Structure 1
Amino acid sequence: MAEREKVTVRKVVGMKGKKPIVAITAYDYPTAKIVDEAGVDIILVGDSLSMVMLGNPSTLQVDMHDMLRHTAAVARAQPRALLVADMPFLSYEASVTEAVKNAGEFLRVGADAVKLEGGSDYVDVVKAMGRAGIPVMGHVGLTPQKHKLLGGYRLMGKSAGEARSIIDDAQAIAEAGAFSIVIEYTASEVAAEITKRVSVPTICIGSGPACDGQILVIHDVLGLSDASPPFAKRYVDLRSIMLSAVKAYKSEVEEGKFPQDGMYWHMKEGEHERLAELLKGKSVTSA
């Protein structure tokens, strides 16, 4: 079998306007193996793991330790896809120096790039990361780490003024050196304008079809999320499938049908009898 060609930042940039970019999240080794085998272009270790993996109410509860651990697990799958790691809340906002240092830690554990939320306010951060050799994916529109400031998880860009601000943010991040930009839960017309105006690929999530690519959370795709956003699509009801399997296992154990012959093994011939002799006269103790 021919070795698969690794997806690089340069290859992703070259896909703009030529081939739709397919991105999806993964947070562990087995899931990363599966989505990579499916042929996706980008795997994002999203801070959405805070909710879908750890049961937290928002993305604000995960830190560098959490994100690095899950990124390292995904990296062990050695994906062909470009591996991008989300920088968690307060890992890049305090100072440029701290931001670069934290971003570097993700590359140390196997990420190919990092993603950070925000626009014009983080131009210096993006430039500094570029100087350090760290590829950056931008993220504009709805920025979940700032949902308290934004007034909740709301559709962005509905007014001309807010739309202009989002476009300016995207252009600033692109000019600062970001190799691609995620546009989340933003009016589709705004996403289309950004896609036309920036030279790097745009990747939509809940922002319409005009972007250069799309991304979804794997748990939404598989039907495993407690509450999916309105823009997500469930491609299979894996929760029901898993529930049915576990119920079947429970039933077979309770009815004595599991394990079956061929799922357990015996001692060598004659050894059980020898064991019985060895145990004669010995008291039975509880395990």
Structure 2
Amino acid sequence: MSSNKITVTRLREMKRDGRKISCLTCYDASFARLMEQAGIELLLVGDSLGMVVQGQSTTLPVSLDEMVYHARNVARACHNPLLIVDLPFMSYASPEQALRSAARLMQEGGAQMVKLEGGGPVLESVRRMTEQGIPVCAHLGLLPQSVHKLGGYRVQGRDDVAAARILKEAYELQEAGADLLVLECVPASLGAEVSATLEIPVIGIGAGSSCDGQVLVVYDMLGMNPNPASFVRDFLGGAGSIEGAFQAYVAAVRDGGFPTLEQAF
């Protein structure tokens, strides 16, 4: 294994040492190659591809077959970053189904970690997968696969009760064996509390600058979304190239220049 290879152990070391972790979504080999050259630590094949690649209104229509296809394309060009792949909607409704779906993402797609959304209902699936040697990334806060249940894409954890629930679920997911947590669209104060409480790294998206790392949808940070979320920054403007934008993103995450207070809740 390359000495530059990002592993679960190395991510924990980065958190311990206070070194910020950069992550971007990635759906094909060309972007994967440029991201690796720029030093991105984590590549996430997200089911966000349903919206930004396929033109869907939500992530829900994305199938497991489609996730395997995109993961395989990214894996061909991904050598040093850790490759995380989303388990799509209703592909982990039971622990047994989660195991089968994760196996496909790893064996056919080349995933090195799988990601799933939610807390309590998925704890047993997290336990079962980690017992079988499958690294798991959890996801709390705004859950895109639950958009209809949540009533839209809204900030989560604003009141004390909701914040306490997210913190409790984060701890339970860590105890169930999760190696990483994505925390989406929560107040910066909650992002800081979750990151300080957990031993595993917390990757924020709209969760403030105190998280252990940051993730953005690649097309958002390249300025391709006509209606970007308030926590997004266009890194392509002034960068001169896509590779330059990726380099600028890595630098901003590492030195704390992104996100700013204006890009937090």
Q: TM-score scaled to structure 1, two decimals?
A: 0.80
| 2:58 is the alignment partner of 1:58 | yes
| 2:34 is the alignment partner of 1:9 | no
2:212 counterpart letter in structure 1: D
- The 5 Å alignment of 1:117-128 reads 117-128=117-128
1:86 counterpart letter in structure 2: D
Partner of 1:274: none
- Give the number of the structure whose alpha-carbon radius of gyration is greater: 1
1:203 CA drift (Å): 0.5
| 2:75 is the alignment partner of 1:75 | yes
1:4 CA drift (Å): 5.5
Cα distance in 1, alignment partners of residues 54 and 227 from structure 2: 14
Q: Conserved in 2, the CA contact under 8 Å of 1:51 and 1:57?
A: yes
Partner of 2:167: 167
1:58 counterpart letter in structure 2: T
Q: Conserved in 2, the CA contact under 8 Å of 1:32 and 1:79?
A: no
Gaps of 5+ in 1: 243-287
- My pick for the range that moved more, 229-238 or 177-186, is 229-238
Q: Conserved in 2, the CA contact under 8 Å of 1:157 and 1:166?
A: yes
Cα deviations by residue, 1:73-121 (Å, 9 ceiling, x for unpaired): 000103310000011000112x110111101111112111001110122
Cα distance in 2, alignment partners of residues 226 and 89 from structure 1: 26
Q: Conserved in 2, the CA contact under 8 Å of 1:17 and 1:212?
A: no
1:150 CA drift (Å): 1.0
| 2:31 is the alignment partner of 1:28 | no
Q: Conserved in 2, the CA contact under 8 Å of 1:184 and 1:204?
A: yes
Cα distance in 1, alignment partners of residues 232 and 209 from structure 2: 13
Cα distance in 1, alignment partners of residues 228 and 69 from structure 2: 25
Q: Conserved in 1, the CA contact under 8 Å of 2:36 and 2:78?
A: no
1:126 counterpart letter in structure 2: V
1:227 CA drift (Å): 2.8
2:184 counterpart letter in structure 1: E
Partner of 1:283: none
1:161 CA drift (Å): 0.5
Cα deviations by residue, 1:170-205 (Å, 9 ceiling, x for unpaired): 111011110110000001111111111111010000
Gaps of 5+ in 2: 243-265
Cα deviations by residue, 1:6-62 (Å, 9 ceiling, x for unpaired): 111111122114210111111001001001110011000011111111111011110
Higher relative contact order (CA 8 A, sep 6+): 2
1:237 CA drift (Å): 4.7
Percent sequence identity over aligned pairs: 38
Partner of 2:215: 215
Partner of 2:251: none
Partner of 1:277: none
Cα distance in 1, alignment partners of residues 76 and 227 from structure 2: 29
**Alignment coverage as a number of residue pairs:** 238
1:225 CA drift (Å): 2.2
- The 5 Å alignment of 1:75-154 reads 75-93=75-93, 95-108=94-107, 109-154=109-154
Cα distance in 2, alignment partners of residues 47 and 59 from structure 1: 6
Q: Conserved in 2, the CA contact under 8 Å of 1:62 and 1:88?
A: yes
Q: Secondary structure of 2:60's match?
A: helix
Partner of 2:39: 39
Partner of 2:247: none
Q: Secondary structure of 2:174's match?
A: helix
Q: Conserved in 2, the CA contact under 8 Å of 1:224 and 1:237?
A: no
Cα distance in 1, alignment partners of residues 57 and 40 from structure 2: 28
Cα distance in 2, alignment partners of residues 106 and 12 from structure 1: 21
Cα distance in 1, alignment partners of residues 64 and 226 from structure 2: 25
1:213 counterpart letter in structure 2: G
Q: Conserved in 2, the CA contact under 8 Å of 1:120 and 1:168?
A: no
